[in-house]
Structure 1
Amino acid sequence: MTIPLPESFALTLRGYDREQVDERIDELLTEIRLLTADRDAAVAEAEQLARRLEQARSDNAALRARADRLCRTPADPAAVGDRVRHLLELAHAEADGVVAAARQRAAAIVGEAEETAARRLEDARARAAHEIEHARRRVEYLAATERRTAGRLRKIDAFLAEAAELLEEDTPLHAVA
């Protein structure tokens, strides 16, 4: 993005008013630094959320692998008595319920993390866009002020030139009664 610079600065006897130019550049640099800091903070926050999301996905994968491993090596109900077989069936049913609940919870955590990351990223983008728009309006305002000031200075210079010409003429001045 380019920031429009003023069309001209106030003229002095030897060129542009250096102090006015330096102040203008300092203002623009300050606004750019603020916008850059806001952008960097938003990017850092998005990266942190992405890391948290990746960690949640990794934890979810580890839990799934553990649950799958436990479910693949059940005790053989045929090798035990009826009462133990019934207890094993109840334990398998309960384990299936725990695994299903864990998967649902992991999916909910991942979904929530993704939504939070997306929302914060969108908020950061909106804040950055707002700050950029504010800076653009400020630049336009300052440029317009500078143009008005330059126009006034040109009128003053013309008036002073005209006054100097009148003073250089040898025509005596008459008192006005």
Structure 2
Amino acid sequence: MTAPLPLPESFALTFRGYDRAQVDERIDELLAELRLLTVDRDAAVAEAGHLARQLERARAEHAELSARADRLCRTPADPAAVGDRVRHLLDLAHAEADGIVTTARERAAAIVRDAEEAAERRTADARAQAYRIVDDARRRAGRLAAIERRTADRLRRIDAFLADAESLLDEQTPLRAVA
């Protein structure tokens, strides 16, 4: 996130108030920064959506692999059709397969859990960053509005002062040349 631009304490005074070009330039700078902050916020929200889609794909893959492992484990060889030695090997193979399936399920559950936590953290971070960006933009807009009100008020006072000065000048009689 970019650092906020410092606001000048005052603008240069000209004959009819503040230098309009300077004020316009400053407002353009603030609007450009506001656009950048909006783009940053939109990118963070898009990243959160991308992570959510990845999580859903991981869940679907986990469900598919679990179903496949269950199908493989449900079709054991018939122990009555084989000898004692083969039966013992089949029992060992079944026990090992059960262990592998259990380990795989635990690992898959851990991966899903980690992915969910990461997605939640990134979503929360993106949401917090978006709120900060919006709050910052609102504060800046408020400051700009206050500056605009103060500037307008000063311009009104200056215009009134100039009008009074012009009317005083119009009312005065011309000075006579001293001979």
Check whether TM > 0.5: yes
- Could you tell me whether the CA contact under 8 Å between 2:55 and 2:115 is conserved in 1? yes
Q: What's the offset of the Cα at 1:94?
A: 0.7
Q: How many angstroms apart in 2 are the aligned matches of 1:139 and 1:55?
A: 41
Q: Which has the higher contact order (CA 8 A, sep 6+)?
A: 1
- What per-residue deviation string (whole Å, max 9, x for no partner) do you get for residues 111-160 of structure 1? 11111111111111111111111111111111111222222222222221
Contact 2:38-2:133 at 8 Å conserved across structures: no
1:88 and 2:90 aligned = yes
CA distance in 2, matches of 1:36, 1:146: 23
Instruction: State the one-letter code of the partner of 1:36.
Output: T
Q: Give the equivalent residue in structure 2 for 1:113.
A: 115
What's the % identity of the aligned pairs?
68
Tell me how far apart the structure 2 counterparts of residues 32 and 84 of structure 1 sit (CA, whole Å). 74
Which segments of structure 1 move beyond 2 Å, counting only runs of 4 or more? 17-24, 26-36, 170-173
Aligned pairs for 1:1-177 within 5 A:
24=27, 26=28, 29-171=31-173
Q: Give structure 1 stretches of 5+ with no counterpart.
A: 1-12
TM-score by length of 1: 0.77
Q: What is the letter of the counterpart of residue 161 of structure 1?
A: A
Query: Counterpart of 1:5?
Result: none
Deviates more, 1:38-47 or 1:122-131: 38-47
The amino acid across from 1:46 in the alignment is: A
Q: What's the C-alpha RMSD, in Å, of the aligned pairs?
A: 2.5
Q: Distance in 2 between matches of 1:40 and 1:151?
A: 37
The answer (yes or no) to whether the contact 1:53–1:113 under 8 Å persists in 2 is yes
Contact 1:50–1:117 at 8 Å: present in 2 too? Answer: yes
Q: Give, in whole Å, the separation in 2 of the partners of 1:33 and 1:79.
A: 75
C-alpha displacement of 1:18: 9.2
TM-score for both structures, normalised by structure 2: 0.76
Deviation of 1:88 (Å): 0.8
1:45 aligned partner, one-letter code: E
Q: Which runs of 5+ in 2 are unaligned?
A: 1-15
* Most deviating of 68-77 and 32-41: 32-41
